[in-house]
Each structure stands twice: as C-alpha cells, then as structure tokens.
C-alpha cells in the first residue's frame, strides 16, 4: 500500500517547494517521478530544476529523453514509471491514478488553484476509504512542514 501525502501550499508555490523535496529524495538514494498536467508545465519545470539556485541543480530528465530510465528524477505528463521511481509527485492537479506500486505519492496543490484544491479534496475523500495511509501537511510560518492529519 502506498502512503499518500497531501501538501497544501499556502505560503510558497510548487516551484519553491519541489526542489527541496526532491533533494531529500535524492539524499535518501531514492528516485522520483514528477507528473505535471501538460507539456508546457513539463518544459517550465525542466528549466526550473536546472536553474532554481545559482550554486546547484537537480539531476533530472524528461520521460521522452533517451536516457530516461537512468534518471533519478523524471518529469512526465503520465504516471508511467520509466525510471523505476518509488516516489510519485503530482503537481497542478495531475492525477496520480492508482497509487498501488508506489512507496509514496505526494500531491502538491497551491491554495490559489481552486481546481487543484478541489481535485485534492476529492482524492483525499476517496483514499481515506481505502487501506492506503493518508496524511495532510501544511507549512508553518517558519517554512517547516507539519503533519496535520
């Protein structure tokens, strides 16, 4: 059974939060698949992960790249697990599909995106009725994440 973590982004956007979460994934020796709703979002995220800090970048690729299976972080518009990731990140209301087969599914949704918030609420309600572990995370004023439920 997968763990589903819902990250409610009220103080920062996904562009600010995602790189730090992905760095933690890599530090643990894990792999991640990041699913976004469309190709434009995938292209923006691809550029952002190379340039989010002047002194750092996140090794990653796109699912259509020839070396995709070797990438520790893969960006896609589909939940195909090309790089054998154990963590799935869904942004912008992207649908995680069936969570089975993932160690953890993380849904990042921004407070200003009403459609993404509604999809997260619907998925939360559905997943609470399953055997999957579900938790909700909010960011404190200090920028730390606290589990709320």
So what's the pLDDT on residue 86? 95
So what's the pLDDT on residue 130? 86
- Tokens at residue 63, please? 């699912």
Helix (H) or strand (E) holding 8: strand 3-9
So what's the pLDDT on residue 30? 96
- Name the stretches of the chain with pLDDT < 70: 149
Which of 88, 82, 91 is closest to 132 using CA atoms? 88
What radius of gyration do the chain's Cα atoms show?
Answer: 14
Domain boundaries, the chain: 3-147
So what's the pLDDT on residue 138? 87
pTM, to two decimals: 0.92
So what's the pLDDT on residue 128? 87
At the top level of CATH, the class of 3-147 is alpha beta
Q: In angstroms, rounded to a whole number, what is the distance separating the alpha carbons of residues 96 and 98? A: 6
């Amino acid at each position: 059974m997968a763990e589903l973590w819902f990250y409610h982004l009220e103080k920062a956007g996904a562009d600010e939060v995602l790189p730090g979460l992905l760095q933690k994934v890599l530090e643990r020796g894990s792999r991640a698949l990041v699913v976004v709703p469309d190709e434009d979002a995938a292209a923006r995220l691809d550029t952002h992960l190379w340039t989010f800090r002047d002194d750092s970048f996140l090794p990653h690729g796109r699912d259509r790249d020839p070396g995709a299976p070797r990438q520790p972080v893969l960006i896609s518009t589909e939940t195909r697990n090309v790089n054998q990731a154990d963590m799935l990140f869904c942004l912008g209301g992207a649908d995680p599909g069936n969570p089975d087969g993932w160690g953890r599914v993380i849904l990042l949704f921004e407070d200003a995106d009403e459609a993404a918030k509604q999809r997260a609420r619907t998925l939360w309600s559905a997943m609470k009725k399953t055997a999957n572990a579900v938790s909700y995370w909010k960011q404190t004023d200090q920028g730390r994440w606290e589990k709320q439920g």
